[in-house]
Structure 1
Amino acid sequence: MSTSSWPSFLDNPQSIYSQYDQEPDLNTCDLFYFLMDERGISITLGFETPYMPQLGRHEWEPSGANSFEFYLMFSEVTQLDITGWNGPADKDITFTRGSNGDILAGIESRGTSVSFHAKSLSLTKSRVSLVSRND
């Protein structure tokens, strides 16, 4: 399944749909954060996008915010496999369901391959900010 439907993998899809009519495409977001936590057997991915939320929290608009950050936490991670790491700028992120209901996650880019299984996925944090861009 493509990442265009990634909210369907969330424990609470409304956590992103309360902010967006159409969720950001993970493949076009900057993957700037990758944390493996062996204590909770979890992986947290942090994404940034200039595609600002359309819904709720309209108090953000006057601040001049131009960046939305959000963090996705995969819980009860198993079968982690990492080959190389070049900071995946052009990447392909996929989520599928295994026969046992697990989320099968993959991140592929030139010089990088990451795959793992997880029991659940949640949106743990989101915020807006003003960032300088070199466009």
Structure 2
Amino acid sequence: MTPAWAGLVRNLAVLTDFYTSPPPLEPVTVRSLYLDRRGPTLTLRFDLSGFPDRPRPEWEQNGCDMFQCQLQFLAVDDFLLRGWHPPVTGSLDIEPTEERRVLVRLGAGGTRLTFSSSDSLTVGKMSAYRSSADGTDRGHHYYVGKVDQMRYDVLPDLGEKTFYGRV
């Protein structure tokens, strides 16, 4: 069964290349968020709860055990953020509402994130990496996208708008 959130992803095929069924967004580890006033858009970068069941051979050869992606939300409204100290691990709830919109909630520990957005979500910047003992994601990333493969082998600095602002 496909989780409800996956039905809202306009480019779901990029995930189904690696997953028989996309994993639920519980738990996910949200690593960063990027707000862009143009749009307005919000992009979350997080680790999915399960590693792909159809991984690329290079991921297996290099001991990758985590899969990360960005999820972009358009026409963001009613934004509320409290206690942001990433990484934040919790349940990312995406609930359809009226007029082709969704209500998004993330609550974990002292963090609370809520907002509404268009119900058309986009997944991008997918990568596999090997988890580190300290829980960071700063090691080598094996990106899915060809341009990302050429430009990055580790996460760029948080100020890199072309990475964090575009999926």
Query: Is the pair's TM-score, using the shorter chain for normalization, greater than 0.5?
Result: yes
Q: Per chain length, whose mean CA-contact separation is higher, i.e. which structure has more relative contact order (CA < 8 Å, sep 6+)?
A: 1
| Paired position in structure 2 for 1:19 | 18
TM-score (norm 2): 0.68
| Greater CA drift, 8-17 or 85-94 | 85-94
Give the secondary-structure state (helix, strand or coil) at the position aligned to 1:15. Answer: helix
**Conserved 8 A contact 1:103-1:118:** yes
- Asked if 1:122 corresponds to 2:116, the answer is no
Unaligned runs of at least 5 residues, structure 1: none
Give the paired residue count.
133
| Paired position in structure 2 for 1:47 | 46
Q: Look up the equivalent residue of 1:15 and give its one-letter code.
A: V
TM-score (norm 1): 0.81
Shift of 1:134: 5.3
Q: Look up the equivalent residue of 2:129 and give its one-letter code.
A: S
| Paired position in structure 2 for 1:93 | 92
| Paired position in structure 1 for 2:82 | 83
Shift of 1:126: 0.3
- In structure 2, relative to structure 1, the CA distance for the partners of 1:84 and 1:60 (3 Å cut) is closer
Unaligned runs of at least 5 residues, structure 2: 136-167
| Greater CA drift, 58-67 or 120-129 | 58-67
Q: Sequence identity of aligned pairs in percent? A: 24
Deviation string 1:77-116 (CA, Å, 9 cap, x unpaired) is 1121223334474523211111101121111223222211
CA RMSD of aligned residues (A): 2.5
| Paired position in structure 2 for 1:8 | 7
